[in-house]
Amino acid sequence: MLLSMTGYGRAKGIYQDKTIMVELRSLNSKFTDIRFKMPQIYREKEVAFRKVTNDSVERGKIDIMIDAKSLGGDDNYSLNKNLFKKYYAELSELSDELGVEKGDIVQTILRIPNVVSTGQDEIEEAEWAAIFDILNEAIVEFNKFRAEEGAAMEQDLRDAIAAIRAAVTEIQPYEEARIPKIRQRMLQNLEEFLGKENVDKNRFEQEVIFYIEKIDINEEKVRLEQHCKYFLEELSKKNSQKGRKLSFITQEMGREINTLGSKAYSSDIQRCVVKMKDHLEKIKEQVANSV
C-alpha cells in the first residue's frame, strides 16, 4: 500500500453549545512536521494532540486546525482592559519616540495573545474527550484520503515501470543492427588512413571485438530489469513507509539508463533511452510525493 504525502481530513462535532471542527492538511516533507492552529485555551493539550497525531499519521508537513464556535453565534470573549491599556501606552510612547506613524494600533494590540480571551476559565474533561474524538475522526479521514491518492499514484508508477521495460525491449533490434555498422565504419576509416593493403585483418578483428565489448549494453539491461522488478516488489509490500526505499531504487535505475545512453552509439537506441528518462522523471515525481 502506497500513501500520498499530500492529504486532507476534516471532522466536526457538537459539545453542549459548541461546534468543534478539526482539519488536517499535509504537504511533502522529509520528516514529520506537525503544526497546530487552535484557540489559546486548548494549548495546554497540544502535547497530547501531537502524540495522538504522531501515533496515527506517517511523515509529512502536517497543519492541524482546531476551532470551536458557539451554536448561537454568541461566542463569549472578554477584553483584558488593563493589559490593553498597558500595550497602548507603551506602543504610543514608542511611536512618538521614534517618530513613526501609529497606524491601526488598536487592531495590532487586539492580535497580541491574552489581550482578547474566551470567558471560559477551564475546559471540562468531557469537552477534552469530545475534542480528541473529533481529532481521531479527522485523522481517519486524512489517512483515507492519503490511501486513495496513493492507490492512484501506485497505478501510475506501475504503468511507468512497464513503459521503461517496453523501451528496453525496443532496443534489441537496434542493438543487433549497430554492430555491422560500427565494424564497417571502423574498417573504412582504417583503410582510408593506412590504405587497404596495409590493414592487418587479424589485428583489426581483435580491435573490433575489444571495442564491441566496451559498448556492450547487455549488463546494463539486465541490471535495469532487476531494478524494475525490485521496485515493483517493494511497491507491492503492505508496509506504508516505502517512499525513501523507492527513491533509492530509482537512483540506481537512473544510473543504468544513463550508462545505456553513453554506450548507445545509435540514434535509435538514444530515442529509447530518452523515453526511459522521461518515464523515470515521472516516477521520481510520484515517489517524492509518497510517504
DSSP-derived 3-state class of residue 200:
coil
- For residue 45 the three cell numbers come to 493539550
Tell me which fold the domain 7-75+124-145 belongs to: Ribosomal Protein S5; domain 2 (3.30.230)
Per-residue pLDDT for 76 more than 80?
A: no
What is the residue whose three cell numbers read 514529520?
32
Give the pLDDT confidence of 223-255 residue by residue, as tens digits: 999 999 999 999 998 877 788 899 999 999 999
Helix (H) or strand (E) holding 178: helix 125-194
The DSSP letter of residue 40 is G
Give me the amino acid identity at 29.
S
Give me the amino acid identity at 157.
L
- Average pLDDT rounded to a whole number, residues 88-112: 81
Give me the amino acid identity at 104.
D
Mean pLDDT, all residues of the chain: 86
The pLDDT, as a whole number, for residue 242 is 87
The pLDDT, as a whole number, for residue 256 is 96
Cα–Cα distance between 251 and 287 in angstroms, integer?
Answer: 11
Do residues 8 and 291 lie in contact, with contact meaning Cβ atoms separated by under 8 Å?
Answer: no
- For residue 74 the three cell numbers come to 454568541
> DSSP E strands: which ranges in the chain?
7-15, 18-27, 32-37, 60-70, 77-79, 116-118
Cα–Cα distance between 279 and 1 in angstroms, integer?
Answer: 21
Give the pLDDT confidence of 187-231 residue by residue, as tens digits: 676 667 767 677 667 776 776 677 777 788 889 999 999 999 999
Cα dihedral value 35, 38, 44, 49, nearest 10: -50
- Average pLDDT rounded to a whole number, residues 45-58: 93
Domain boundaries, the chain: 7-75+124-145, 78-110, 149-288
> Which of 64, 39, 65 is closest to 119 using CA atoms?
39
Give me the amino acid identity at 191.
E
Cα–Cα distance between 264 and 266 in angstroms, integer?
Answer: 5
Per-residue pLDDT for 75 more than 70?
A: no
